[in-house]
Each structure stands twice: as structure tokens, then as C-alpha cells.
Amino acid sequence: MAGNSDAEIVIIGSGISGLSAAHKLVHSGFDKVRILEATSRSGGRIQTANIGNVITEIGASYIHGASEQNPVFCLSLDYGLLDPEASLPENMAMEVDERPPFIPNYFSSSGQRLSAEIMNPARDLFNELMDDINEFQDPKEKPWPNIGHFLQSEARKRAAERWKHKDKTTQKLLLCAISAMVKGECTSNATTTMENIDIEGYCIYKPLPGLDCTFPGGFEGLVKKLMMELPADLVSYNRPVRCIHWNNTEDRVNTVTVECDDAEKITADHVIVTVSLGYLKKHHSTLFSPPLPAHKLLSIHKLGYGTCNKIYVEFDFPWWDDDCEIIYLVWNDEEDIVDHVSDLKTSWIRKLSTFTVLKHPKTETYQKNSHVLCGWISGHEAEHMETLTEQQLRQALIGLFHTFTGDPSVTPKRILRTQWFNDPWACGSFCYPAIGFIADDLKNMAEPLPTTEPLQVLFAGEATHSEAFSTVHGALLSGWREADRLINHYSSFSSSS
């Protein structure tokens, strides 16, 4: 086998997993590394934009678990990309399980502002239920078929006992608020309904300590820093791959051929595939020759993959409190705890139940005209939202805000939406633990082809990480993992030569 300097490695995709793999390989002495990127930019599902003069994230928004255990956080600190408060000891030690203690405002569909003092018991109960899910890590202890059923049944049961002394109107509103929060949890899992989420699979994910944080200058800053430390010509843009030809033999010289859409054929010793799970689901039959093994295909099928979109809305003035960090829109007829709609055309907007407030430095310009909310929507409702014209979306949002504020002057100034479902390379947002999904499926996702040497085709990406799937740090770690696989492979070969 050739030494490090002679090994030809092709990485498909310049998202964070592809870049992290390339970064580690190049800095370990591999100088024949090349990335083929289908689009005109690096970053993949990390993308930063603007609405007015406010920075927005089209893709990933948060560093989940801002602590020393998170490599994305550590790299971002090293690069000077974060606010100083992100590294405060108390923030790094906080256990939030990706549910930051945001200060809420509540509005009802009757056009009324609801008291946080009255409504916060709903959030306390919801957080308690989400914490209790982790008690069901033993597959034998699953009295509920899925997380949605658990949330719905347990919320009603505990509410009936806990709130029995409250008046009927308050009891109903609190259950409706939990409905809004379950919809918000759907966006955290990129799913249409929490009934799609497997309890055992959900418990495989391991949250990191640390208060979630954002990038003041945008998440793309991390991508740019990584790119600056790579050779300038390492990424070839606008180079979609048509097929990866692997031969499943022990021939050790140029065992893989990457066929591009323009018919160019590139030979390599190893290929690291970092395409999204959505793209794999859609194109695996043509992307690999011979086809993927049956057990890998089964795991690709079993692991869920969905859409989480964001709708940024700028207003001339804030209609929420100065300290507000999240807004819940509470439909007052959803006491049955409804997390999806039956008629997408007429009711998709109901899925848009949570808005986070974009916090920026209180400059004079910001105070005057930069009041921005980020609305979160997932599943089939998010997919339907992508089909609307700009005017249809605007009218739907105007109706929503008028309904909940009761104020006809609350009108969007600018709107910016994401459209990940119809992105031909992402085909959605990120993976989730669908019903029947187990830990072995993640092992299958990360398994190279062939399973022993010479490691012709390797796999990285958020959907291949055993404990941090669906996250940026999971994607980054998966890139490092595959780089280490090759580094160790050549170290073993050198020591045995």
C-alpha cells in the first residue's frame, strides 16, 4: 500500500464532515486529498444569510452543548468566533438537554396576551415529560409505542391530577400550550409528528453539557476558518458525482472510480462519502456500483430523515417583551395535544407554533428597524410551506400575527424562509430516530465498504454518528472518525511493512 503522500483520497461533499475529514488528513501528511462539491459553495447544511441588517442562519443555528466536550464549540472558541459569555463556567456546566431556559411570551388564537405566570406550568410539565423519556432506555420498559403517544397520554394524565384545582379555561389553555410545545419538539426532530419517534432510538442520542450558543457573525464563519487552513485548490466546485464504482476486492491500487456528472472518471484509493441521508435515500441505487449491501440499505431505510425549516420575519416594532426569548402561539382549540394538521392546504400554518427572538447588539440601527423573529416549522407542513409563493406566505403570516396579537398594525416588513426539502442535494434537514430504529443501524451507516481492508468507500455525516446524530458536532466528529480510520490504516500498514 502506498504511503500517506501517495494515497489518493476523494471526499464527496464539502459540508462540515467533509471539511473536517480533509482538515485532519491534510494535517496528518496526506497530500493527495480532493473534495468534490456538487454546489458552488462549501458548508452544506451550514449557511448564513441576512434579513435586513440582521444575520440569520439558513441552516444550522446552534452549538448544542457549549462545553469542552463539544469540538465545534472548542474550535469556534479557538478561532475567536463566539461571544465571551459562551465560555463562562456556569454556562458551560449547565445541563439543558437542548431545551434552553428561554424567557417566554404566550399569545392565544383569541388575540390575547397570556400571563407567563399562568402559562409556565405547561412548560414545566412539558420539560418534565421530556426528561422522563430518558428513563425508558431499556427496550423492555416501553409501555408506549412512540414518544408522541407518551407525551399525549401522560400530559393529560398528569394535568388532570396536577391542575384539578384550576378553572376549566386555564386547564384547557395549559393543555393547548403543551400542544404548541410538542410542535416545537417536532422541529427539533425534523419530523411531522412525535408519533414517528422511537423511544428507544431517541434515548441513543447523548446531549452534551453547556448552554446552547450561536455565532454572532454566523455559523459560516467556522466553515471559512477551516477552509483557510486547507490548500486553496482542494475543493472542486460544481462537480456532482454520478456514481461510485467500487469492486469489493482486495486489489490495493486505485480500487475506486468516481464518475462525475460531466463523465470525468477519477480514480482513488479511498472515497469518503458525506452526502446527506436524504440524498442517500433518494439516490443510493444509482450512486453505488455494485449496490450497497442489504444490511446498510435496511439501516438507510430505517433511520428517519425529515425537514425543519425556518421563517424569519422582520417587524418595524417589537410586539413582544424586551426580555422575551421565545414566543408560543397557543391555539385555544388544541387541548387534545395536536402536533400535526390533517389538511395541509388550509391548516399548515398551525404547525408554526414557536418563534425565537433574534438577539443582537442594541445599536441605534438595531433599535430602530431590526426586530426579527425566527419561526420554526417541520415535517409535511414545512414541505408544503416551500410550495407557496412569496405573496401566499406573506398573507398567511399576516393572518397569523393578526389572529394572535389582535393588532392589525403587526405586519411583516421582510420575510426570509428556508427551503431544505426542495434542495436537490440536502433533500431535507437532518435525521431522526424513526420507529424501529436501533443503535446497530448507526453502526451500519458508518460501516466502510468493504468492511475490511482496503477501505474503498467510507461514510461520514451527521446520520452516521452513534450518539450525536442530527448535530453539527456529530457531523464534524464523523469526519474526524473516517480520517482517523485511514490514518490508522496506513499506520498499521507501515508498522507491518
Query: Which pLDDT band holds residue 253 (cuts at 50, 70, 90)?
Result: low
What global pTM score does this model have? 0.94
Query: Which pLDDT band holds residue 364 (cuts at 50, 70, 90)?
Result: very low
Task: Write out pLDDT tens, residues 16-45.
Answer: 999 999 999 999 999 999 999 999 999 999
Q: At what angle do helices 439-446 and 294-302 cross, to 10 degrees?
A: 120
What is the percent of the chain with per-residue pLDDT over 90, rounded to a whole number? Answer: 85
Helix, strand or coil, per DSSP, at residue 306 = strand
> Which candidate, 191, 155, 471, 170, places its Cα nearest to that of 351?
191
The pLDDT mean for the chain works out to: 93
Query: Which pLDDT band holds residue 91 (cuts at 50, 70, 90)?
Result: confident
Task: Write out pLDDT tens, residues 198-207.
Answer: 999 999 999 9
In this predicted structure, the answer to whether residue 494 has a pLDDT above a threshold of 70 is no
Q: pLDDT value at position 363?
A: 44
* Whether the Cβ atoms of residue 38 and residue 239 lie closer than 8 Å to each other: yes
CA–CA separation, 437 and 387 (whole Å):
30
In this predicted structure, the answer to whether residue 4 has a pLDDT above a threshold of 70 is no
Least reliable range by pLDDT among 352-361, 408-417, 473-482: 352-361
In this predicted structure, the answer to whether residue 266 has a pLDDT above a threshold of 50 is yes
Q: pLDDT value at position 252?
A: 54
> Which candidate, 412, 396, 398, places its Cα nearest to that of 315?
412
Q: pLDDT value at position 140?
A: 64
Mean pLDDT of 71-100: 88
Least reliable range by pLDDT among 159-168, 352-361, 396-405: 352-361
* Cα 167–chain centre separation: 39
Q: pLDDT value at position 365?
A: 43
Mean pLDDT of 160-183: 97
> Which candidate, 264, 262, 229, places its Cα nearest to that of 33?
229
* Whether the Cβ atoms of residue 275 and residue 423 lie closer than 8 Å to each other: no
